Structure 1
Amino acid sequence: MTMTFIRNHQYNLITRQVGLLQQAYDNVSDKKVINGVKNNIHARIIAAFPEATELQIEQLDQAAALSSNDDCLQYLSSLKTNLIAFDTVTEKQIKKLFPKIKKLKVLDLESIDYRYITYLGWTDIATNRLFIVYHLNGKLVGIEGRYTPLTKKSTCFLCNRPQEVALYSAITKFKPTNAASDYYKAIGNYMCVDSTTCNKHITDVAKLEKFITDVVG
């Protein structure tokens, strides 16, 4: 029976760590240095799964035995059967999340490989809106806001890599007690315009979940 226990962002973290080991094999001849890199990446991988079972830890532990580039590739490939896919959503579900937008343009849901998705994101160029759909605490939530592309690359606050980004600004639904009726607060940050790229590199969901929570209130 296949155990699905690895989320997309965790698989990205493993891939990044194993990539560091591959670089060591390509550029370092000192076995002590390579063993140090191996021990470090193994520790970081295990730390990313605080709730893993003994059987799951046993599979992740194979990172400690990687001894070549081929081993690294085989290890990453073997973990793909353990990926937890993003729960598929329908166009109807998404439109229900954004009831005020009557002509919402939804991305092509049938073309998505949900194993490699942490969040759904897409832009509507006509309205300069960026939409995010995510499973937060077992509930499907959606947020939308304006995006302003930058003319140069910058660091995305979600995947923490230099990419083509935009300033994404969403209005929070939270209102302080005794706030005026016209009160509003916008929350903004720089994030990838291309969510597919972002999903390939995101290794942690803490910032994403905090951002969504701050917006939805």
Structure 2
Amino acid sequence: MQTPFIHNHQFNYIHKQANFLIKTLRSVVDPKVLKTVRYTVGTNVIEVFDELTSELTSEQKHLLERLSTYDTPHDVQLYLNELEAYLIPFPQISAKQIQKLFPKAKKLKLPDLESINYAHTTYLRWIDIATSRLFIVYPHEGRFFGIEGRITATNKKGYCMFCHRHQELGFFNVKTKRHSPDHFSAIGQYVCMDNEACNHSISDITMLEKFLFSAVK
């Protein structure tokens, strides 16, 4: 049985490198260029696990390095399908746990937990259309963090601060108690309006965590 060791954002990054390799295989015949691209792809994938490299088993490292060895787009796609079995899913969470994260949200509208693809979820998010509020739940070091704020559609496309994807954006504004319980401030960012697509595109959690932890301090 395979032991999951790939997070969703890492898989998304691998997928982007795989697409780069597929594009090269379809358009380049120069063996030197192909060799360079293979080396770049293989190196980039390993670097995604840089902080965990010492913890990777030889089998896991070999699995990641295999991406650079394929000769056809079809083989690359089969490889990506194989990686699905190694994805670490979003931790199991119940409706009651979510409600405890947002005690001040009256009549909290919960997401359909049964329809979520947890393997491809980096952070749980949903929009309550009636109140124009975006809710986010994020797992970190064995705990769940929750933030909420108003999201206003811009009706324009741009780059999401979380996934760096060019898509329809909304301005996400979150009130925080940074200095004292009686003094509120606010932070905001432009983020995707599409919940699922953002999770399918995010390949680096740096900006996501920076924003979330700034909001919960």
Q: TM-score, normalised by structure 2?
A: 0.95
Which letter does structure 1 place at the counterpart of 2:172? Y
Tell me what 1:194 maps to: 194
Q: Larger deviation: 48-57 or 70-79?
A: 48-57
What 5-or-longer segments of structure 2 have no aligned partner?
none
Q: Could you say what the CA RMSD is over the residues aligned between the two structures, in angstroms?
A: 1.2
What corresponds to 2:15 in structure 1? 15
Matching of residues 70-149 of structure 1 within 5 Å: 70-149=74-153
**Contact map agreement 2:5 2:88 (CA 8 A) in 1:** yes
| Other structure's SS at 1:85 match | coil
Segments of 5+ residues of structure 1 without an aligned counterpart are none
Helix, strand or coil for the counterpart of 1:89?
A: coil
**Alignment partner, residue 172 of structure 1:** 176
Give 2:208's aligned residue: 208
Shift of 1:110: 0.4
Name the CA distance, whole Å, in 2 between partners of 1:143 and 1:80: 29
Give the Å deviation of 1:34.
1.5
One-letter amino acid matched to 1:187: I
Cα offset for 1:140?
0.6
Deviation at 1:130, TM superposition (A): 0.4
Deviation at 1:174, TM superposition (A): 2.0
CA deviation vs aligned residue, 1:78-113 (integer Å, no higher than 9, x gap): 111100010121111111100011200011000111
1:153 equivalent to 2:148? Answer no
Q: Which stretch shows the higher mean deviation, 182-191 or 12-21?
A: 182-191
Name the amino acid aligned to 2:192. Answer: C
2:206 maps to amino acid: A
Deviation at 1:124, TM superposition (A): 0.9
Is the 2:177–2:183 contact (alpha carbons within 8 Å) kept by the matching residues of 1? no
Distance in 2 separating the partners of 1:78 and 1:86: 19
Question: How many angstroms apart in 2 are the aligned matches of 1:103 and 1:121?
Answer: 17
Sequence identity (%): 43
Q: Is the 8 A contact 2:89 2:120 kept in 1?
A: yes
Shift of residue 182, structure 1, vs aligned partner: 4.4
Number of equivalences: 213
CA distance in 1, matches of 2:135, 2:3: 32
**1:115-157 CA distance string (max 9 Å, x none):** 0100111111111110000102221110000111112111101
Contact conserved, 1:8 with 1:118, CA < 8 A, in 2?
yes
CA distance in 1, matches of 2:196, 2:187: 23
Q: Secondary structure at the match of 1:172?
A: strand
Is 1:33 the equivalent of 2:37? no
Aligned to 1:63: 67
Higher strand share goes to which structure? 2
| CA apart distance, 1:195 | 1.3
Whole-Å separation in 1 of the counterparts to 2:100 and 2:210: 22
Runs of 4+ in 1 over 4 A off after TM superposition: none
- For the Cα contact (< 8 Å) 1:155–1:162, is it kept in 2? yes
